[in-house]
Every structure is written in C-alpha cells, then in structure tokens.
Structure 1
Amino acid sequence: MNDIELGAALSFGGLDWRVLDVRDGAALVITERIIDQRPYHDAYTEITWADCALRRHLNGAFLDGFGAADRARIVPVVNKNLDNQWYGTPGGADTEDSVFLLSIEEAVCRYFGDSSAKLYDEGRKRRYWFERKDENNAKRSAHLWRGDGGTWWWWLRSPGRLGVKAVYIHGDGNIGIQGNNILKGNLADGWCTGGVRPALWLRA
C-alpha cells in the first residue's frame, strides 16, 4: 500500500473507488459513485445494521460478485455501531463485516472533513442539520452511476431518530441525521430508494 495515498482513486472488482484511510498494510475504500439503489431493510420494523437486509446483501450477493482473487484481498473488520448522537437511538451490536456502509461518525468526523462540532454540539440538538452551514457538504455529495449521473442521497449504517429510520447523506452532502424510513421508495423500479456506496478494507 506504499503507493496508495489518501484520496487516491483506484479500480477494484470492476468498480471505481476512493481511498479514505491507509493503515496496517490495508486501505479503506468507498465507491466513487452510488452504485445501486436499495431500501435499508425489507420490512418496516425496528432494525439495526446488524440485522438489516442491506447488510446481508453487501456481505452476501455483492461480496460473492467479486472473483476469488479479489475476495482474498478484502479484510473483514469489526465495526462499532454507535447510538444516534442526537437522539440516542440504539445502534445495535458490533458487527464483523467484509463490506459495509460508513457510520455517521465516520462520514461526519473522519473521512470527509471534520464536522464533529456540529455532531456533538449540545446547544443545537434536535434541529435539522441543514440549518447549520457545513463547509464539508461538497465532499460527501455523490453521483449516481446511471441516467444523467446526477447527485442522489445515500445510506449510512447508523440509526436515525427512530428504529425504523437510518441516517443518510443528502444529494447536496448534508446530513439526514433524523433518518429516512428503512423501506422508503418504490421497490418496483428502485428509483426512489436510497443510494448504496459500499466501503471495505483492501489488502495490497
């Protein structure tokens, strides 16, 4: 990984990725674009990342779509699933994932600039995120892989205001900390469902 730098673009498994972190001989990468549109879960019920349908898909059919040599380079990790920082909604059990979504803490505080003051500011709790100007929005905004390639909203793995919602990133990069419904959208064509930007740790 000596030749891979933070922010670098790379191709892996037929997809374009962006390097978010480099550590211990592996790189954390996220797809450059939103590569799919899916609901977070397949039923409208309280759920956490540990048990949701989107996690099953990413660590099942999506992972199986890589060739054997590529799968051998993917490093399983244990992810912490924190409670929602504004509402205290339980984040659920820690999970071991080969492929995963970023958490709100990762998307807000670590990998797209540091907006931690807005996440942990006790004085402005329970107000919409877009009421506060966030200079890091553009870094989180993502484009679709299809159609005209316009921006779209994409899921994080963290819970929203309730257990039937999950946090997401608006098309403009703002934080939907209250969350969208886990079964939001038109399942027939997928167009209204949340965007998916898988992340994984990749060994050299």
Structure 2
Amino acid sequence: MEDIKIDSSLSFGGYNWRVLDIQNNRALIITEDIIEQRAYHDAYKDITWADCALRKYLNGEFYDKFSATDKSRIIPVINRNPDNQWYGSKGGADTQDSVFLLSIEEVVCKYFGDSSSKLHNRGKNQRYWFERKDENNSKRKSKFEGYGWWWWLRSPGRVSVKAVYIHGDGNIGIQGNNILKGNISDGECKGGVRPSLWLKL
C-alpha cells in the first residue's frame, strides 16, 4: 500500500485522487481534476441533491464502472445536506451515498483551508465571493482537459433551480448556477464533476 496521508495523491479505479481526510483506516478522496461535464439535473425544476440526476448517475452508472474489488473498498456514508447559509434555500434530506459531491461546508470550512468566517459573515453587497479575495481560492481550482473550469457542489444555490459551484478561479459561487444549463453566460456550458468517496485503506 502506498504511503497515504492527507493532501497526498493516489490512483484508484482509473482516476487520480487527492486525499482530503483520513479517519479509522478510511480516506475521503476527490478526483484531482474535473473528470467530465454534466448538468446537475435533467430538468429545470426545484430539486435537491437527494433527487437530482447527478446523484443518481454518480451512485449508479459511474459507480458501476468500478471493478468488484474496487467497489468493496468504497464505503457508503450518510451525508447531511444543510440549507444555503446566505439564502436559506433547502438542502433537502440526508442521503446515503457511495459517491457524492462535496458540500459548501466541506469545501469552505474543512478541506481546502478554512474560509468559514466569510461563509458566516456575508458582506452587505455580496451575492458571490468573487467581489472579495480569499486566500484559499487557489486550493479550490481545478481543470478539465487541461483548462481551468468550474465544478459543482451538492449544496443548493440562491433558489432550488441553482446549485453552488466553485468558479474556475477558485471562488465560491454561493448563489449557484442553473442546474440544467449551468453557466448560461458561457453558452449553456455544463458544470464540472469532481466525485468524492470514502475509501477503505
């Protein structure tokens, strides 16, 4: 077994992953890069992570690509889905996931530096964090096919037809992008997908 520690990288199931946390002989990992682009949901309607098409895909078609041996190392977990801290939109029911997207709390407060003060102290004129430099933005950047791109979180945006995302420059899009069409200003481009899972070590 390779030397696995927090912030190290490892290869699993044909992807390269970054280790975010280690607890009791299991590691929380996220793909190093955005592995594909997909809509958060397949219809423009109020939705939460529990019922969205992207969750169904990650725990179905994507999960089924892993070998039986790899699947035996993936640990299903219960994920909490809090409401949006700035807008109060509903996060929905707790979910049991084998593969999942990170929540805004996980990305902002725990695994990519601690920017929790910005999450809990919204500026008077803020809709996004893009208006304020955050020292942890560089840790959240990711690439798709070599280019910087934005990626989805599972948390709800300002309303339930939007989901929070990480901008290409690492800023937090807490207002969210359109769950079906992504960032419409980019010509209806789909958001990046960085799956996470708990792996048995």
Q: TM-score, length-normalised on structure 2?
A: 0.94
1:16–1:31: 8 Å Cα contact kept in structure 2?
yes
Per the TM alignment, residue 3 of structure 1 is displaced from its structure 2 partner at its CA by 3.2
**Which residue does 1:92 correspond to in 2?**
92
Distance 1:2 1:125 in 2: 47
After TM superposition, list the pairs within 5 Å mapping 1:175-190 onto structure 2.
175-185=172-182
1:40–1:183: 8 Å Cα contact kept in structure 2?
yes
Per the TM alignment, residue 124 of structure 1 is displaced from its structure 2 partner at its CA by 3.9
1:198 aligns with 2:195: yes
- Describe the SS at the equivalent of 2:130: helix
2:155–2:164: 8 Å Cα contact kept in structure 1?
yes
Distance 2:174 2:82 in 1: 13
**Which residue does 1:118 correspond to in 2?**
118
Distance 1:39 1:127 in 2: 22
Distance 1:12 1:120 in 2: 35
Letter in 2 for 1:53: A
**Which residue does 2:71 correspond to in 1?**
71
2:141–2:170: 8 Å Cα contact kept in structure 1?
yes
Structure 2 gaps, min length 5:
none
2:113–2:136: 8 Å Cα contact kept in structure 1?
yes
Distance 1:62 1:165 in 2: 23
Distance 2:161 2:53 in 1: 13
After TM superposition, list the pairs within 5 Å mapping 1:6-17 onto structure 2.
6-17=6-17
User: Identity of aligned pairs, percent?
Assistant: 70
**Which residue does 1:62 correspond to in 2?**
62
Per the TM alignment, residue 43 of structure 1 is displaced from its structure 2 partner at its CA by 0.3
Q: TM-score, length-normalised on structure 1?
A: 0.93
- Describe the SS at the equivalent of 1:138: helix
Distance 1:62 1:123 in 2: 39
Q: Deviations over 1:56-77 (max 9, x none)?
A: 0000000000000000000000
Q: Deviations over 1:173-199 (max 9, x none)?
A: 00000000000159xxx9810000000
Letter in 1 for 2:96: E
After TM superposition, list the pairs within 5 Å mapping 1:90-169 onto structure 2.
90-124=90-124, 126-144=126-144, 146=145, 149-169=146-166
Per the TM alignment, residue 127 of structure 1 is displaced from its structure 2 partner at its CA by 3.3
2:103–2:154: 8 Å Cα contact kept in structure 1?
yes
Distance 2:122 2:101 in 1: 26
Structure 1 gaps, min length 5:
none
Q: 1:6 to 1:191 in 2, by over 3 A?
A: farther
Letter in 2 for 1:87: Y
Distance 1:109 1:12 in 2: 26
1:174 to 167, 171, 174: 171
Distance 1:130 1:51 in 2: 29
Q: Deviations over 1:3-45 (max 9, x none)?
A: 3110000000010000000001100000000001000000000
Letter in 1 for 2:130: F
Q: 1:41 to 1:93 in 2, by over 3 A?
A: same
